[in-house]
Amino acid sequence: MDPHVGILEDWGLKADVAGLEAFSKTCVEAFADVACVVKPQVAFYEQFGSAGLTVLERSIAELRKAGVLVIADAKRGDIGSTMAGYARAWLDPESPLCSDAVTVSPWLGFDSLRPVIDLGEQHGRGVIVLAATSNPEARGLQRSYFDGTDTNLAQYIVDRVAAENSQHPGAGNLGVVVGATLAEPPRLDEVGGMVLMPGVGAQGGTMDDVRRIAGGDQTASLVSPNVSRGVLRAGPVVADLRNAVAEQAATLRL
């Protein structure tokens, strides 16, 4: 759910709170019966202040009530009590923004994520860590080597997530974001948790890329390719959006 100005206009909606609410209601109605996971882009709601966040709160609650898993794409990152506040906002059952998982940024140090990791584990919610993103600006940082080693920062983040997940049986509640368009992705064979993989479709990534980056079948079973524009451009008719979800699900099946 990425209600940027362009998609609102394409749907015949104004870029205001009323347009945001109409967009979100349509998405909830369309996706509740057919999607297993929905990822609202938090920034597009925050830009409208408290009214936009109210729309997001309702959307999250309605999707979760319908049995859809919600990943809040908030990309939060901070330290200490501030990070603990972000953790409570997105993962505490008492919060009106409570989601099934939240995306976080590790670039203040992986251990700065401890408050959100601990709260996620306490409440059985996911924490999805930015590791190797597909935006071109990221390469210089994420491909840099970590602290005099031969491990780049993206791989270091994946390895830290894998270490956290290895402490629990089965798939862990930590995941990573790894773009589908990367020529030199980190190794994911031991990640042990969800791999959220944006970049398929409009950004140029293919399912062959997804399989290449995932590596073996065990990791492939944990990959969730992310598609936004390929679905939303079918709107605003609910039936058309549902058909687009079904088509994308068939295309993205690993």
Q: Which are the catalytic amino acids? A: 75
| E runs forming strands in the chain | 37-38, 69-76, 101-104, 126-132, 174-178, 195-197, 223-225
| E runs forming strands in 40-153 | 69-76, 101-104, 126-132
The token duo for 84 is 């603990």
Q: Are strands 126-132 and 69-76 parallel, antiparallel or unpaired?
A: unpaired
Q: How many C-beta neighbours within 10 Å does residue 221 have?
A: 11
The token duo for 31 is 């996706």
Q: How many C-beta neighbours within 10 Å does residue 51 have?
A: 13
Give dist(CA 43, CA 213) in Å, integer.
28
Give dist(CA 132, CA 143) in Å, integer.
8
